[in-house]
Amino acid sequence: MLEPGSDAAKAYAMAYAKLEEKAADAEMRAVMNRAEIGKLAAKLEQIAAVCHDNAPPSCDKGMALDFVRQVAESK
């Protein structure tokens, strides 16, 4: 067990605080990534709905892929 106030205890506390900070940062990035995935999924659903609602010739797959690429690159 570490002696309270010792250099080892202080170093442990600092290392633990850094780990907590890194964990919080990773959690925030995960939340942001989930939000981005949700936005992209919504856009893909819009494309699918337009393609489904229109006759097959009016669904330009190349245009849909370009749109998806633009969304991905705008990140």
pLDDT of residue 22: 92
pLDDT of residue 21: 92
- Mean pLDDT, all residues of the chain: 79
Amino acid at 71: V
pLDDT of residue 57: 63
pLDDT per position as a tens digit, 13-38:
899 999 999 999 999 888 888 888 88
pTM: 0.49
**Per-residue CA distances from 14 to 4, 11, 22, 41 (Å):** 13, 5, 12, 40
